[in-house]
Amino acid sequence: MRTVLVVEDEPKIAQVARDYLERAGFGVLTAGDARSAISQARSAKPDLVVLDLGLPDQDGLDVIRSLRSASKLPIVVLTARGDESDRVVGLELGADDYVVKPFSPNELVARVRAVLRRATDEAPTDVVRARDLTLDIPKLRATVGDRIVDLTATEFQLLVALARSPGRVLTRSQLLDAVRGVAFESYERAIDAHIKNIRRKIEPDPRRPRYIETVYGVGYRFAED
């Protein structure tokens, strides 16, 4: 059984999330503040965290920083914040997806399943090589030359989608489809945040990318040799 840690300070919302996730077959832990969330994430080692950004004792963005400093634990951000900059910052810090309140509990369950699938499903036994980048799909391992690159599951899948077809332009919508595997209307600008993260990790100079090129008004492409 996969275990989900729901970090939410509003008891009614936490209970709804628990009920629907348990009904979907997940084990569920709950935390009402940042301190408890970080403690449980380290001790109980859940498979995924659903994290509210508006916590009473600490900003949820700081919780993402703390979790990301120690592991690749998948994170789905749950927030009532309307400012898209909060969502972008969360994704830039390493969150894998987000759901905005008020939310459909069924959508939350589907997002959790999709993120876990990206992180843990058995992938095809192959290796993608493009320029000096190597993506070992079964091991979810990325290297540039001899350097191992620490990517989240979402970042890895995005990079695979781009590197499989050097020179081909992929729209944000196509990239969302490649990493989600489910058909939801989604926040396409989230792709920009993930691409920024990938560039920071693989590019010698992220301001002058060698690998992932921006095609303005359309999307992105992996540079050909």
Tell me the CATH number at 76.
3.40.50.2300
Boundary of a domain, candidates 76, 95, 120: 120
87 pLDDT higher than 90: no
Whether 58 shows a pLDDT value over 80: the answer reads yes
Q: What percent of the chain has pLDDT over 70?
A: 91
Instruction: Retrieve residue 169's tokens.
Output: 């332009």
- Same domain (yes/no): 112, 148: no
Shared domain check, 95 and 24: yes
**Is residue 135 located within the same domain as residue 204?**
yes
Let me know whether 97 and 181 are in one domain.
no
Please indicate, yes or no, whether residues 79 and 131 belong to a single structural domain of this protein. no
Q: Are residues 147 and 205 in the same domain?
A: yes
Number of domain units in the chain: 2
Check whether residue 23 and residue 105 sit in a common domain.
Answer: yes
Q: Domain ends where: 59, 94, 120?
A: 120
Number of Cβ within 10 Å of residue 201's Cβ equals 17
Domain co-membership, 146 together with 61: no
The band of 187, judged by pLDDT with boundaries at 50, 70 and 90, is: low
The DSSP result for 7-58, as a single string, is E-S-HHHHHHHHHHHHHTT-EEEEESSHHHHHHHHHHT--SEEEEESB-SSS
Please indicate, yes or no, whether residues 90 and 12 belong to a single structural domain of this protein: yes
> Do 30 and 101 have their domain in common?
yes
Question: Are residues 90 and 14 part of one domain?
Answer: yes
Judge if 97 and 134 occupy the same domain. Answer: no
In the numeric block, the tokens 């493009």 are attached to 130
User: What is the average per-residue pLDDT within 52-70?
Assistant: 90
Give the pLDDT confidence score for residue 120 in this predicted structure: 62
Q: Averaged over 175-202, what is the pLDDT?
A: 75
pLDDT in tens, 108-167: 998 898 888 877 654 454 888 888 899 998 888 999 998 999 998 889 989 998 998 888
Residue-number span of the structural domain to which 96 is assigned: 3-120
pLDDT tens-digit map of 4-27? 999 999 999 999 999 999 999 999
For residue 15, the cross-strand partners are: none
Residues in the chain: 225
- The pLDDT of residue 81 is 60
